[in-house]
Copies of this chain bind each other. A is one copy, B any other.
């Protein structure tokens, strides 16, 4: 088979690739950071690149649809660079009792009067019953103890002594809490002695190359040869990079990290553990495991201290995962005296409703629209995204990073549609009115922005952009938003009905996740994403899943509480609720 030279700009990477290799694969093999939100289906058109063959004219193509047929220069035109990822969340007090702890011991020396075994000496000094040894610890034990004159530090995880270190090393005891989202990964480096956050790091989940949403990942994991292995490795390697970055920033070594907690949706959870998520994708959407788990860092290739452990928060069901448990833990849903509603809109939209007596949860696939998927000019909340829009006497918008706009993110979309509704450019059925149909005086002011783009009626947000292409909202985009908000609103309705409560009974609405934190509650209520009755009760709580993961890391009790929450929260499968579709249909209009 012929091989051709492919040069990728601006990275300036040259590769030799086989004839007919799709550019997407070239990028993946080359480790080029580039996203394929629709997983390479050719649908989202987000992977446009410029290619130039020798002696031919430059042309724009989709990287996921283009095969290499000769020597080639590929230029990446647009790459989302600096993402706004939520790294702060609710703050909660917790008694520090971390999942892994260190105890410094000065053991009495062996003598003929006290010739206890090394291990017996150690555990009797610890005074903790039922501790288990692992073989490695026992093999190292005699030298570790004698090297430092029987002054040693014992590292304990659960009921297992995972390491014994010479001298007093109690000062060095770090942990990391990870929130593995479908789109983004956030990690918090914590001092497990003090509970202090040393730094946080984040990146795009590298699995996005294989699809923007969980379904495309599951398909890749279950249908591509070695797919599961690939997705597993991608996330593990990325987490390893994040660990390295975090400890370097904080002036530590990765060996100082002994524990990691992981909160992610059920698919992310399974992929991280290299557990086949196949049966999550079709009814009855069964996960392999929901219970909390502890695995050796070594067993899954996580590069922290070789004796370190990875603690996975429990899932609730196939589409309500450990991230929701972590968010509910952060929000203390299990202590709610009055009815609380928790909405976590990431790539999926999970909803939890209830009090300390009873809790219910459901999941809607509503998230992606708010992350820019299937939206004409949609993009994530990154540099260049229009994130807020206000249309009244004045026409105003803000752009993340204060640059020329390159697209619109979820909160911008929500604002724009809410504003267009307010000024009568969009009617309650979600239809963009033609200029001559507009009756609203304010709306009339913006008639000229109603244009037809690619044959679809659209509202032009900005002509002067970073890309040279206009940024706009199309009729189709509004339909996407209606489906998304309709699903969430109907989900809330189902949970209310299940609980046996009315909208008015909800005393607090907690919005978790990036989108939930940035959105304008006014706009959310106006479009009906959140029932308008709840206006004034809405509170953004940021990356609550991350906070939950941190709490579990710092406190055994909180980790246990997460398990209790995962059992307590009753999952409602919306597709099994007969009323759901009629609720949904009703909630689609504004």
Query: Beta-carbon contacts of A92-119 to B below 8 Å, as 1s and 0s?
Result: 0000000000000000001111111111
Q: Closest B-chain residue to A295, C-beta based?
A: B135
Q: How far is the CA of A119 from the CA of B314 in the complex (A)?
A: 12
- Residue contact B120 to A279, C-beta cutoff 8 Å: no
Q: Closest B-chain residue to A576, C-beta based?
A: B112
A133 partner residues in chain B, CB cutoff 8 A: 289, 291, 293
User: Taking the complex as formed, is A284 at the interface, i.e. its CB lies under 8 A from any CB of chain B?
Assistant: yes
A293 partner residues in chain B, CB cutoff 8 A: 133, 138
A119 partner residues in chain B, CB cutoff 8 A: 288-291
Q: How far is the CA of A571 from the CA of B116 in the complex (A)?
A: 10
- Smallest CB separation, A392 vs chain B (Å): 47
- Residue contact A279 to B135, C-beta cutoff 8 Å: no
- Residue contact A117 to B275, C-beta cutoff 8 Å: no
- Residue contact A118 to B284, C-beta cutoff 8 Å: no
Q: Closest B-chain residue to A118, C-beta based?
A: B288
B-binding segment of A139-147, A368-376, A431-439: A139-147
User: Taking the complex as formed, is A252 at the interface, i.e. its CB lies under 8 A from any CB of chain B?
Assistant: no
User: Taking the complex as formed, is A287 at the interface, i.e. its CB lies under 8 A from any CB of chain B?
Assistant: yes
A284 partner residues in chain B, CB cutoff 8 A: 110-112, 114-115
Identify which of B139, B288, B575 contacts A275 (C-beta below 8 A). B139
- Smallest CB separation, A191 vs chain B (Å): 29
- Residue contact A116 to B286, C-beta cutoff 8 Å: yes
User: Taking the complex as formed, is A56 at the interface, i.e. its CB lies under 8 A from any CB of chain B?
Assistant: no
- Residue contact B576 to A289, C-beta cutoff 8 Å: no
A291 partner residues in chain B, CB cutoff 8 A: 117, 119-120, 123, 133
Q: Closest B-chain residue to A266, C-beta based?
A: B117
Given the interface pairs A142-B278, A276-B139, the reply to whether A289 lies near B573 with Cβ below 8 Å is no
* CB proximity to B under 8 Å, residues A402-441: none
- Residue contact B273 to A135, C-beta cutoff 8 Å: yes
- Smallest CB separation, A292 vs chain B (Å): 10
A276 partner residues in chain B, CB cutoff 8 A: 139, 142-143
- Residue contact A115 to B318, C-beta cutoff 8 Å: yes
User: Taking the complex as formed, is A283 at the interface, i.e. its CB lies under 8 A from any CB of chain B?
Assistant: yes
A488 partner residues in chain B, CB cutoff 8 A: none
Q: How far is the CA of A285 from the CA of B111 in the complex (A)?
A: 9
* CB proximity to B under 8 Å, residues A521-578: 571, 573, 575-576
- Residue contact B576 to A275, C-beta cutoff 8 Å: no
Identify which of B113, B115, B279 contacts A286 (C-beta below 8 A). B115
- Residue contact A273 to B576, C-beta cutoff 8 Å: no
Q: Closest B-chain residue to A286, C-beta based?
A: B110
Identify which of B111, B117, B141 contacts A315 (C-beta below 8 A). B117
A290 partner residues in chain B, CB cutoff 8 A: 116-117, 119-120
- Smallest CB separation, A568 vs chain B (Å): 14
- Residue contact A289 to B118, C-beta cutoff 8 Å: yes
Q: How far is the CA of A115 from the CA of B116 in the complex (A)?
A: 52
User: Taking the complex as formed, is A299 at the interface, i.e. its CB lies under 8 A from any CB of chain B?
Assistant: yes
Q: How far is the CA of A143 from the CA of B276 in the complex (A)?
A: 9
User: Taking the complex as formed, is A45 at the interface, i.e. its CB lies under 8 A from any CB of chain B?
Assistant: no
Given the interface pairs A275-B138, A278-B142, A299-B135, the reply to whether A287 lies near B112 with Cβ below 8 Å is no
Enumerate 21 A-B pairs (CB-CB under 8 Å) in ascending A order.
Answer: A110-B286, A112-B284, A112-B575, A112-B576, A114-B284, A115-B285, A116-B286, A116-B290, A117-B286, A117-B287, A117-B317, A119-B290, A119-B291, A120-B290, A123-B291, A133-B291, A138-B288, A139-B273, A139-B276, A142-B275, A142-B276
The 10 lowest CB-CB distance pairs between A and B, nearest first, are: A119-B289, A115-B284, A117-B290, A117-B287, A112-B576, A112-B284, A110-B286, A118-B288, A110-B284, A117-B289
Q: A111-B284, A116-B286, A135-B295 are in contact. List 15 more A-B contacts (CB 8 A).
A: A110-B286, A112-B573, A113-B576, A114-B284, A115-B285, A116-B290, A117-B288, A117-B317, A118-B279, A118-B289, A119-B288, A120-B289, A123-B291, A142-B278, A142-B279
